[in-house]
Amino acid sequence: MAYTLLAFHAHPDDEALLTSGTMARAAAEGHRVICVVATDGDLGLASGQFRDDGRLGERRMAELRESGRALGVSRIEHLGYADSGMGPETDPDPPGRVRFIRADVDEAAGRLADILREESVDVLLTYDANGGYGHRDHVKVHEVGGRAAELAGTPRVLQATVPRDTICRGIALASKIYRFPPEFDPTSFERAFSPRSAITHRISVWRQAGAKRASMRAHASQATVDGEADRTLAAFLRIPRPLYDMVFGREWYVDPAADPGAQVARDVFAGLP
């Protein structure tokens, strides 16, 4: 039976990092896949060649469409909000738009719920309560996504995450061969994402590693920034295969409605009618 999967993200490129394998697998198995972003990422870090003319948000949406083609996504939508940025202070709202962090939760959820109902979505992918690594727009996606599912009666909500102990081990290993920038705080990941005990879905996506890599590559603006030698996305794309496939061959989710102690599921659609 074919289902409909909707991945809700804060910015273009977020889908590439957390859910692209799941999206590509669902599309390959004949399911309908939709991607919705809250913002166009207009305040994202990028080198001058991408942002100096003020069209970074437009470029990032074009990159999202390219990523979607690599993953087999059938529909891409932008809820219309502006990026809230990562600085200590939120920038003023641009003309005619609201920074996502300032959006009313019910109003934003209503926009998403309209799409959920229109598409009869079976599974909504959103973020865990920490918003992954804690970006303010990611936390807002968690809040808005959960409320939208309530309004639309969406059968299943899965919160994309990574087991934090896995990340901490990976950072410890990487630090032996890679010098992180001074501002990088590895201890921050001890409070990010979700504990392994909370994971309810562990999805094998190694067969989709090529599509996932193409999705990451599509977001060229997010691979460079002026004055810095490296960015996370660029570093990931330099990982040789098959090591890349091993590192990115699984994706993890938390189902807040799952029965405690239930066996970890291997399919996001498992158990749906």
Residue 157 has pLDDT above 60, yes or no: yes
* Domain ranges across the chain: 4-254
Residue 190 has pLDDT above 90, yes or no: no
Residues 128 and 8: their CA atoms lie apart, in Å, by 12
pLDDT digits (tens, 9 = 90+) for 57-81: 889 999 999 999 999 999 999 999 9
The CATH classification number of 4-254 equals 3.40.50.10320
Residues 94 and 83: their CA atoms lie apart, in Å, by 10
Tell me the pLDDT of the chain averaged across its residues.
Answer: 88
Task: Identify the residue whose tokens are 């290993």.
Answer: 173
Residues 113 and 124: their CA atoms lie apart, in Å, by 11
- Average pLDDT (168-178) is 65
Question: Which structure tokens are listed for 268?
Answer: 């996001």
Cα angle for residues 21, 154, 15 (degrees, 5° grid): 25
Question: Which structure tokens are listed for 209?
Answer: 């590693």
Q: β-strand 201-204 against 156-161: which pairing, if any?
A: unpaired
Supply the pLDDT for residue 177. Answer: 59
* φ and ψ at residue 63, rounded to 5 degrees: -65, -40
Residues 258 and 74: their CA atoms lie apart, in Å, by 28
pLDDT above 70: percentage of residues in the chain? 87
User: Alpha helices, DSSP H only, in the chain?
Assistant: 14-18, 20-28, 48-51, 56-71, 105-118, 136-152, 164-174, 209-218, 232-237, 243-247
Q: Which of 122-136, 197-211, 229-243 has the lowest mean pLDDT?
A: 229-243
Q: How many CB atoms lie within 10 A of CB 273?
A: 5
- Classified as helix, coil or strand, 197 is helix
